[in-house]
Structure 1
């Protein structure tokens, strides 16, 4: 297994205890809420995991096996839930033209044959996904910003080739110049 496929992905955070039976608020940080279901297990660190015993999607409440009182549940407040890249690929379905963020990270960003930089991270601001791009060293030496944001949608994104780890863009240089 590659180092990347062993990486744990933060997909939710457990909030405060609610009620008298160990229910907890669940703050989902994923586009795939269907993975949170009764019997599903998630890591809270590299060695420990929690299993969902009950979930109410409408109220964003979850219960975990072995945590049936408010006192027990409070021990989980602010814990992060993680899954693996491999499990995400198996359980989460993408539509045509959609990509997992972890596949986009590390891609070179190219415009008119010129490398603008490498995607460090993807972030969602409001309803738009943005590529956080570390500018190419040659451009930084020319006085351009060390990093910049580029919307990950048309008309900026022309083509995304995950196999080659290349994203072809339009207008990226204009945004870098204005950064």
Structure 2
């Protein structure tokens, strides 16, 4: 399991002092309030920042980072992902998973490996697992009709209905 996890993305700047609007990947924002530092990542770049302030704003949050004091400096961070140690991420309820934990899982059908999760696509009602199989890429709805046991420790996901791959 990853020791760090992405919890959100810098959307854009707000105001003239370098505040940044943040989109939470979980839709929850409480876990941002206790953060003291974050790692921002964009492609092959990574920067660690100390947080000066986190404040609720219109159903989202604003973050003020040390050293980011102008909209121009803040704009350079738009689109960067916010990474934190796993213990600072949103709390998961039973049956909930971080997308990062599903990525790379082996898909098992009747105990046999038939593919692996390449990505997770967000859709209206259910996320879709993009699976790489011998027959190419397939999409499987991530719901209880098609998915049985999920074991993130052993990186396996049980597929209940094989016909969905046809």
8 A contact 2:31–2:88 mirrored in 1: no
Name the structure 2 match of 1:131. 129
TM-fit CA distance, 1:117: 0.9
Name the structure 2 match of 1:52. 51
The 2-side partners of 1:169 and 1:65 are apart by: 46
5 Å-filtered alignment, 1:8-157, equals 9-30=5-26, 32-37=28-33, 39-45=35-41, 48-59=47-58, 60=60, 61-83=62-84, 87-89=85-87, 91-135=89-133, 140=134, 144=135, 146-157=136-147
Q: Structure 1: which 5+ residue stretches go unaligned?
A: none
Q: Normalising to structure 1: TM-score of the pair?
A: 0.72
Q: Which has the larger radius of gyration?
A: 1
Aligned residues: 161
The 1-side partners of 2:110 and 2:34 are apart by: 49
Q: 2:151 aligns with which of 153, 161, 175?
A: 161
8 A contact 1:38–1:54 mirrored in 2: no
8 A contact 1:56–1:62 mirrored in 2: yes
Structure with higher RCO (Cα < 8 A, 6+ apart): 2
Runs of 4+ in 1 over 6 A off after TM superposition: none
Q: Which has the higher strand share?
A: 2
SS in 2 for 1:102: helix
Distance 1:35 1:153, change over 3 A: same
CA deviation string 1:136-175 (max 9, x = no partner): xxxx3xxx3x11111111111121223333221222x222
TM-fit CA distance, 1:39: 4.5
8 A contact 1:37–1:52 mirrored in 2: no
